Amino acid sequence: METLLEVKELEVNFPVYGGSVQAVRGATFHVNKGETLALVGESGSGKSVTAQSIIGMVSRKDGTKLNGAIHFKGKNVLEMEKRELYKIRGSEIGFVFQDPMTSLNPTMVIGKQIEEGIAFHQNLSKKEVKERAIELIRLVGIPDAEQRYNQYPHEFSGGMRQRVIIAIALACRPELIIADEPTTALDVTIQAQILDLLREIQTERNTAILLITHDLGVVAETAQRVAVMYAGMIVETGTVDEIFDNPKHPYTWGLLNSVPRLGLNRQERLTPIEGSPPDLFNPISGCPFAERCKYAMEVCAQHLPARTEISENHQVSCWLLDERAKAMIGEGREQVV
């Protein structure tokens, strides 16, 4: 499969009073053409900052340190000129934000909002731009497209507003859509419709999707591969089957154990991950999960675990996978999912 986006050792440090916050700490993953990669983790793990870095919304201007590389179609986004960035943002990479109400301009009819990107990136006449906007309204499943073109965001339901956001993201037929928690603000039935819509668009247009979510149910339904993020690092990546059926990192075990599943009887309880994520203001020397991990060894708090390759697609950063640890603890220490 051809790689469309490759994030390599990405580091994002925000300056704050008295130091800096290490929001992303060496994140490495890739998205292939036409596939969906789910970036999963709890709030504050650095998922959204990673996404915003990909489309150049995190700038070095205010003293933010951005290191590593983000290659989109072979070119490093972190080294692009502003003009080059504007060119790919919206045309080659579309973005679907979490909250459809705050992402739309309440004073502008939705047709005009969809037209903005088309007019900016494509050399079309006014008539053609309008036709394209109406076609997009239809494409995302909003009925009466001509009438809806002239309506304001407050005249749309939450689900319909998210469809408008998807239409804006699709305006210039991007090769990659970054969807940051696209269904979090929606109820379950609308959530399913939006996920169906994203899937249809992907199949029809071979669009790649980077789906940012904390919801493993959404991941199972939508993605082909998963990258699990914790405290600004990717701790495990693999195909959906590898992550759900053969997870290797204790944090992934914890995530899977803390979601409701069919067949759970009344007496059984969900197992939350005890403790809180580390304070990213303070440098972390070893494994960031060490304080919450019941399998932690002495080495975990002192040294960052290396990435271990389980298979071509499945990589894990955990000392439990190290040969020396295996020898010490025996092969029997397996997952408890």
Provide the minimum distance between the beta carbon of 330 and ligand SF4 in the complex, in angstroms, as a whole number: 14
Q: Which stretch binds ligand SF4 (CB under 6 A): 93-101, 118-126, 164-172, 318-326?
A: 318-326
The verdict on 290 binding ligand SF4 (CB under 6 A) reads: yes
The DSSP secondary-structure symbol of 89 reads B
Residue 293 binding ligand SF4, by CB under 6 A: yes
Among the listed residues 121, 129, 300, 314, the single contact to ligand SF4 using CB under 6 A:
300
Candidates 46, 111, 153, 250: give the one binding ligand SF4 (CB under 6 A).
250
| CA dihedral for 209, 214, 217, 220, sign (positive or negative) | positive
Told to check if 229 binds ligand SF4 by CB under 6 A, we report no
- The residue (of 185 and 233) whose beta carbon lies closer to ligand SF4 is 233
Q: Which stretch binds ligand SF4 (CB under 6 A): 33-41, 109-117, 218-226, 295-303?
A: 295-303
278: left (phi over 0), alpha (psi -120 to 50) or beta: beta
Q: How far is CA 33 from CA 6, 177, 194, in A?
A: 11, 11, 21
Q: Which is nearer to ligand SF4, 108 or 306 (CB)?
A: 306
Tell me the closest approach of the beta carbon of residue 250 to ligand SF4, in angstroms.
4
43-80 burial, b for 16+ CB within 10 Å, e for fewer?
eebbbbbbbbbbbbebeeeeebebebebbbbeeebbeb
- As given in the structure block, the two tokens for residue 92 are 């080659």
Buried b (16+ CB within 10 A) or exposed e, 82-98: eeebeebbbbbbbbbbb
Query: Judged by CB under 6 A, how many residues of this single chain contact ligand SF4?
Result: 14
Return residues touching ligand SF4 (CB under 6 A). Answer: 249-250, 287, 289-290, 293, 295-297, 300, 305, 318-320
